[in-house]
Chains A and B, each alone.
Chain A
Amino acid sequence: MAFYENTIVAKQDLAEKDLESLKNKYNELINNTHGKVIKIEEWGLLNLKNKIKKYNKGFYIHYKFEGNNKTLNEIEKKIKIDSTILRHLTVKYKKLDVKNEFFNNYEKKK
């Protein structure tokens, strides 16, 4: 088992219900496939530096989880099919730092 971080960039024109369901969908997917979600962060609507598929903004969701290669394969498969996701990135870490949050402004505004 190793530690991973996964970030998803979703389209900006989604309703709040869809975002919630999207967030829960991958949370359950990780938990069901030999994995364990440690933390979920919502970075909120952020401006993209360059346009991606004609979109100027994106909704960022960030997962910190523990898992193995089966979980990673499953996530990759599901994300590639998903049409609401613009970009994604998974990074392996030896240690996760849960304390630091670099995108804290969104939650304060709410």
Chain B
Amino acid sequence: MNFLIIMKRKNKKFQKKNSNSLSKLSLFHKGDSKFSKKCPLSVKDGPIVDYKNISLLKKYVTDNGKILSSKITSVSYGKQKKLTREIKKAKILGLL
């Protein structure tokens, strides 16, 4: 029995490798696996996005004061909108 299971596993591995190499053959073909990080702000009991919470806002701003795009930080669409608004409020007060 054990031997059979190992054989099956080996077969599976072999098949997976094959499929991977095939998917890489064409540049324009998207792979089966997607790299998607989850949004760090829309977790349950997540941090409060507010213009007073500067330690949080500083993470999403470059040294020159530019707002980082959601492609880099993987923040969801709704939260990114809120972030930009709060950052701009903080900039008015001279906090950021």
Contact = CB atoms under 8 A, between A and B. Distances in A.
B93 interface: yes
Interface in A37-84: 46, 48-50, 52, 58, 60
Interface size class of A (residues with CB under 8 A): 10 to 19
Contacts of A98: none
Interface residues of B, number: 15
Interface of B: 48, 50-55, 65, 89, 91-96
Nearest to A101: B52
Contacts, number: 32
Nearest to A97: B48
Interface of A: 7, 9, 46, 48-50, 52, 58, 60, 86-87, 89, 91, 97, 100, 102-103
